[in-house]
Chains A and B, each alone.
Chain A
Amino acid sequence: MKRNIIYLTLIAACLHSSCKKDLLSPDSKTAVSTLDLAQFSTKERIDAQVLGLYAGIRNGNFYGGRYPVYNEVRADNFIAQSTNAVTAYQTYNFTAGNGAQEVTDFWGSAYNTINRCNLFIEGMTTKGTGIVGDALAKNYIAEAKVLRAIAYYSLLQLYARPYWDGNGSKPGLPIRLTGNSVAGNYDLARSSVADVYAQVIKDLNEAEADLPLSYTAAVNNVIRTHRNTAIAFKTRVYLSMQRYADVITEAEKIVSSSFTATSGVLHALQPDVTAVFKSPYLTTESIFSMPFVSGTETGGGQSALSSYFFGIKLYSLNPQGAIGDPAFTQADKRRSFITISAGLPYLSKFPIGAAQGYSDYVPVIRYAEVLLNLGEARVRSSNAVDPQAIALLNAVHGRSDASTTYTVSNFSSAQALADAFLRERNIEFLGEGLRSPDLLRLGLTIPGKAEVPAVPPTSAQYIWPISGTELLYNKLMTDNN
């Protein structure tokens, strides 16, 4: 009897150990393993990956707030009320070194998005197209290309000298077009600024051909990219390259004589600019915006635009900046975006605070910009006080400030009109992250503010240094200056 008990125990022990072998290779029940490209195994997973590419652009270090914030605070419209290095102070006062958090994190975030796009494009070719069919696959791949273009363009604005400097011959970025998923030797040298811009244009052109004209769900016309998104973004890219004729060519695809888009998504200026920055954020003026959802997809406490400019009030508006511009008249409706708090002016264009999860949409590109891009391109390409340019300027300015209508007589020279465009952009896009790129693309000195001195185009601080970790691990990488 006793012996039997022992034998039973031993037998049970052996049986027990042999039955549990499957436990040695557990499948995750919360994440998709890439074995057999399982991430492309169903349409639902592929759809989710497409949205994941957008989520990459929306990351807190990128358009989820920090990228436009950096481009604002390094320029002249904001005064720091905090000295916290975590909230862009070093970018604000031009002390950000290679190791600064913003310098390494934005770099990482943008390239992470690029790699998502690359992996997606490859996986679709290998497997995904067979799952979703050719038509949808073309749309999806085109979306990946637009987003990749936006990521490269955005990186250029902070890490590379502007295009005009040596006509794109200065060091640009490592161009990565293949997906990486395991450890490897990823040393890669910087391509020239011109080469990177060429890649951006190539992606946008290919995307333009393959993107859907519009989506059935109206929300997707704003939070996903469609053909007009690619075109609109090209006007920005060409403007940065000072290829004004190309700006005009692209813009004219989506700007009719009545200053609206007549094919694809029917973009138009809104009569009331404040409508663009209000829920549901889905006007036809918003060509592409990053959505946030209170409670579930909240903006970051140290990345959302509102947290910097209004919620936590880390940066007040510089009285000597755009808000001090005489062209920004008291009658201007855009003054309603300025709120005085404790005696200081703050930008309340993105007013939603932490309680509602900083859920303001972040504009990536608006139709107003396309109009101003077109107008400015006309002035700069013709070097004349172009009437259509003035009409475009009036379209944007006049909708917020009916008291002012510009005429040819207002501008003594083409330069004066070009300057007016710059000032209008400064007012119109305040807080949207266009200020520093606008100064840089024209080689203008970044004006000083408060205790921070001006930064001339010759200065090393005119652009960021390269991410310190990139320099450390990519043996072919070189720093700026």
Chain B
Amino acid sequence: MKRKLLTTMLLLWCFALQVDAQTRIIKGKVTNESDGTGIPGVSIIVTGTKTSTQTDASGTYTIAVTGAAAKSLRFTYVGFVAKVVPISGATMNVSLKEDTEALEEIVVTGYTTQRKADNIGSIASISGKAFENKPVQSFDQALGGKAAGVQVTIPNGVLNNPPVIRIRGTNSISLSSYPLIIIDGVATYTGDQSGSSAAGNALSSINPNDIERVEVLKDAAASAIYGSRAANGVIVITTKRGKPGKASVNYDAWVGTVTARGLPDLLDAYQYTDLKNEGLRNAGTYDDSNPDAARRRYFALSNDANGNVINTNWYDYIYRRGTSHSNSISVSGGSQSTNFYISANYTAQKGILTANDYNRKAILAKIDHKEGKIFSFGGKINYSNEENKAATSSGSLNGEAFGTGGLGRLAIVTAPNVAPKNADGTYNVQTPTTIGRGANVGSDVGFYNPLAVLELDRSNNELNHVQSNIYLQANITDWFFVKSTYGIDYIFSDNDNFFNPINGGSAAAGGSASVSFNKGKRWVWTNIAQANRTFGKHDFSLLLGNEQQRSTAFGFGATRTTLSDQAFNQFAAGYATPGNSGSLGENYLVSFFTQFNYNFNKKYYLSANVRQDEYSAFGLENKKGVFYGIGLGWEIANEGFWANAGLDNAFSSFKIRGSYGTVGNTAGLGDFASYTFYSNGLYNGGSTLVPNQTGNFNLGWESSEKLDLGFNFGIMEDRITVEAAYYKNTLEGLIYNVPQVPSAGLPTDPMLNIASMSNKGFEFAINADAVRTNNFSWSPSFNISFNKNKVTSLSEGLTQFITATSSLESANISRVGEPLGMLYAVRTNGVDPASGRRIFIEQATGKNVLYQQVAPAGQFRYTYEDGTEAPSISLSKDGVAYRNTQPKFVGGFDNNFRYKAFDLGLTFTYQLGFYVYYGTNSGLRDQRFWNNSTDMLRRWTAPGQETDIPKIIAGDNVSNGSSFPIDVNVFKGDFLKLRSATFGYTLPASFLNKAKIASARIYVSGNNLWILSDYPGSDPEVSSNGNTSSAPGIDRNSVANGRAFTAGISVKF
């Protein structure tokens, strides 16, 4: 550096001496093409000479040009694309384009990087900008629509709930279909790591603003390097690192609000009271005058202390307007030898559910250093502390749908004619587990008192997550290097739950507190050696690697019940009864892998990956697997005939590629799944030992044979790029918990590698730099993918299986020959206008069967149309595989507009060709004491009336689908969403320079703003069963999704 300065000064001296000889002075300003701000420190050199200068703080420069040889100026600055401009005139204003080469020219392939032009695998690259400053907890919530073949579903509005992610379809039946996630080279923990009712996505430890880029590896050529874990695709996240140059400081902040969207309209107190009494009268059980008061049964309004009729809208208590903010600051920079990046983030978010909060404090520090010509080393540490808070179960996470206290359900079930509190300020309770009945007589009118659990209970989780790695690299020759990387991923999950002694889940036991702690520790040690050589027209690269990954888990928990003093609510307070729990796990993966890439003259490409994995969770007889992928590519645009035919004018590149290989899946496989176990318990204080797991020593990985054929081309110097692919995943040996005959008495259904399935589809993506002028630009990108999933076999003799929601409702059925997880429902045929009875269709005969909840003497509950008795309608007898839940088409449409200093970003996502079971609707029409939707106002009341809502009869949980799913509650889920819209304004440089600010942008944005869908529930993008592979498309008692508005600022110093 000093030497350069010295040279420059000497040169300047020389020029100064010659200034009088044919010297011209050229002035101008160098600006950033994207925002028009001046760039300080740009080097300007007169080409072919040693004359040079630099721009000043405002980006302006002056240079003296001497002699006729001076033809042009070369402008260079770190982070921008260098530009050579012919000299013309005395003023030369130049704009430089930010060097986004990192994204456009290379791809991260996992263990290494590759020139994008040389890559023949199916890899989607997404810039970190897609995730910046979004009102999300983790980047994956903003991944939807950004890459072809990637389906992202936000399950509901519970904060930090992991999205459902599917790459090229659902690739497993019993194990997870969630992709492998690699963060800076280390396979990280995924999924919900919270042990409380608040969700805790492991991926939220990464501040989305720290992400440089994300790669999605889809086919065998790209993913086989991850061997036994690649079947669901691989998402490779690269966090930001410092770049040589002056330190730059980025500050990003936003504030926002979020509200629930699309809540169903419910009956108010008056309507509720009328309809429930109508139901009792229709059932013949209305009784307000029985001499035995205990036998009276009716519903009635009551007044509050002020004499007003109690008319409670439970949404007002359970939902709220959440406010959030986020502050991130990063400092990055470096020299030629050492680069650094440090960032800190604090975000506090309040969700749409009362008491559902998310707080994150995170730091990322990263350093890279080159020592001499050979060595480089560096490392990073990412630490996050996250608080995931909830009062109680949302009823919306996997397995919670039918929880009595789920807030999504309490909001719609609880009677509106009772108040949360009594006139004296105490909670309105009937029993420890039910809300007070108000003036209603003879029946419960709700489950838990929502306000009592919201105000008194808590179910909080705290995650401390450390992701760190160090590496040492030795560039032994200019074509050969070795690199050793050691990474850790430690996630510590603390849970703190309290259930109050007044009303709710533990009130009958006098309250309880429980704490638990789970410690997940992982280390990954990767050693690679890579050689890259070119011999004439032959390019070779060979990677050899070894990797070990060791994970251990330890957990313990304690529960204390029966609170001694009701004033307390901490675990450490006094309780009558203790309880405890524990867990332990370990696994080990040791791998060897190699990757070989070759191309001839940049025309013919070959790529081969092989990985051998040995994994501890596989059965004793099946520890080792070898996985591979081979890809071939042909860059036609580099062929002579292409140019001869003049096609090079139209196509700047045109590559045909194909790949084939076999990879595996182990996601979600238990550490000891292959063993047959006996485990301990107690019988009157003595130890018991009982069978608790049915093992299988042949248990192995699930295999995915991937075929991929595609082409990419660019036109107009790649201003428009198009990628298209056809793929087929043939899945064999899928693990299925093969149901054994129940009377065989096995403790669990054993896992066998027995089932098979396929995903076939097309992907198409187009990215365009459609308009680019000084004042206006428009860059749209669009992607669509089509996927067809088919179960091809289950275990021998088994043609279908059912997956229950929350262990209770069997609304998904998977059948051989059809897609996984179809909706399972009984067909109906409307409502009989004469009697107002629900008409079911008996599957065996196709006959109409009319149902009445209460059959008068001599009649039957189920009758055929001729009045004769029909057998009871049941799901097992009359259910059909009714509709597909997996979208046929998913995709996104991104648009970025800029007009002068204004920018507008619009991201649309869509999913088409699928159905959702709106199970919540059956609850909304259930004729037990449950409150109903206003749909019930159009119930059948008089003979001849044509309506879709049957006559209401108290106790009827059959007619509208509570007892078993019916087709009436299945709806098309197709949607188009404006996922995010951002409108920004970049402040003028002239204004900022005074404050020594390099650039600043303010913006407003909206998330989940608008949806086009016929789905009647709050959001067709829903999953009551989380990431469960075989139970998609269920909307059962989930809380709604939120609509968020934010305003923010990004400042760069």
Interface residues, chain A, CB within 8 Å of chain B? 2, 5-6, 9-10, 13-14, 16-17, 20-21, 23-26, 28-35, 39, 44-45, 47-49, 51-56, 58, 82-83, 85-86, 95, 97-99, 101, 104, 107-108, 111-116, 118-119, 173-174, 176, 180-184, 186-188, 219, 223, 291, 293-297, 301, 311-313, 342-344, 353-357, 451, 467-470, 472-475, 477
Contact = CB atoms under 8 A, between A and B. Distances in A.
Interface in B721-744: 738-744
A445 B686 CA distance: 43
Interface stretch (B213-221, B657-665, B834-842, B869-877): B869-877
Given A83-B955, A99-B876, A119-B691, A13 B550 contact: no
16 contacts: A14-B546, A16-B525, A26-B588, A28-B677, A31-B672, A33-B695, A35-B675, A51-B683, A107-B742, A176-B744, A183-B694, A184-B740, A297-B684, A472-B739, A472-B876, A475-B797
Nearest to B592: A17
- 9 closest A-B pairs by beta carbon, nearest first, are A115-B745, A343-B294, A52-B690, A354-B509, A48-B689, A354-B508, A23-B588, A52-B688, A186-B744
A296 B676 CA distance: 26
B262 interface: no
Given A6-B474, A99-B876, A295-B579, A85 B684 contact: no
Contacts of A174: 743
Nearest to A344: B294
A342 to B, nearest CB: 7
B742 A24 contact: no
Interface in B786-803: 797-798
B285 interface: yes
Contacts of B432: 354
A26 B745 contact: no
Contacts of B694: 181-183
Contacts of B588: 20, 23-24, 26
Given A26-B588, A99-B875, A353 B508 contact: yes
A3 B683 CA distance: 64
Interface in B588-606: 588, 590
A21 B433 CA distance: 53
B947 interface: no
B689 A49 contact: yes
Contacts of A474: 741-743
Contacts of A301: 508
A312 B472 CA distance: 64
Given A17-B546, A23-B588, A51-B686, A2 B745 contact: no
A397 B719 CA distance: 97
Contact of B744 (A13, A31, A180): A180
A181 B682 contact: no
Contact of B680 (A13, A16, A48, A188): A48
Contacts of A29: 584
A14 B687 CA distance: 45
A34 B677 contact: yes
A26 B553 CA distance: 13
A54 B683 contact: yes
Nearest to B615: A24
Nearest to A46: B689
Contacts of A85: 957, 963
Interface stretch (B19-27, B630-638, B746-754, B1015-1023): B746-754
Contact of A312 (B374, B433, B672): B433
A143 to B, nearest CB: 12
Nearest to A29: B584
Contact of A342 (B294, B476, B693): B294
A307 B508 CA distance: 10
A353 B509 contact: yes
B650 interface: no
Contact of A468 (B527, B678, B876, B963): B876
A9 B692 CA distance: 45
A355 B510 contact: yes
B746 A33 contact: no
B116 interface: no
A101 to B, nearest CB: 8
Contacts of B576: 355
Contact of B742 (A34, A39, A104): A104
B656 to A, nearest CB: 39
Contact of A180 (B682, B745, B797): B745
Contact of B684 (A47, A107, A173, A219): A219
Given A28-B672, A355-B509, A34 B744 contact: no
Interface residues of B, number: 93
Contacts of B750: 182-183
A314 to B, nearest CB: 10
Given A51-B684, A99-B810, A107-B743, 18 more contacts: A5-B474, A16-B525, A31-B679, A33-B675, A39-B689, A49-B678, A54-B688, A82-B444, A98-B877, A99-B875, A111-B742, A111-B744, A114-B743, A186-B743, A295-B579, A343-B294, A469-B742, A474-B742
A44 B680 CA distance: 12
B375 interface: yes
Contact of B374 (A2, A32, A357): A2
A13 B546 contact: yes
Interface of B: 283, 285, 292-294, 374-375, 431-433, 444, 472, 474, 476, 482, 484, 506, 508-510, 525, 527, 546, 548, 550, 561-562, 576-579, 582-584, 586-588, 590, 614-616, 620, 623, 671-672, 675-696, 738-747, 750, 752, 797-798, 808, 810, 854, 872, 874-877, 928, 955, 957, 963
A68 to B, nearest CB: 19
A39 to B, nearest CB: 4
A306 to B, nearest CB: 10
A44 B689 CA distance: 10
Given A97-B876, A312-B433, A183 B696 contact: yes
A56 B690 contact: yes
A30 B584 contact: yes
Contacts of B740: 180, 183-184, 186, 473
Q: Which of B623, B741, B746, B877 has the most CB of A within 10 A?
A: B741
Contact of B579 (A35, A115, A296, A343): A296
Given A26-B671, A219-B684, A355-B508, A181 B679 contact: no
Contacts of B583: 30
B687 A181 contact: no
Contacts of A357: 509, 561, 577
A343 B583 CA distance: 47
Contacts of B957: 83, 85
Contacts of B584: 29-30
A116 B690 CA distance: 7
Contact of B688 (A48, A104, A113, A468): A48
Contacts of A20: 548, 550, 588, 590
Nearest to B957: A83
A52 B681 contact: yes
A303 B248 CA distance: 64
Nearest to A104: B742
Contacts of A311: 508
Given A29-B584, A293-B684, A6 B616 contact: no
A173 B562 CA distance: 43
B565 to A, nearest CB: 14
Contacts of B738: 183
Nearest to B620: A25
B33 to A, nearest CB: 43
A86 B808 contact: yes
Nearest to B682: A297
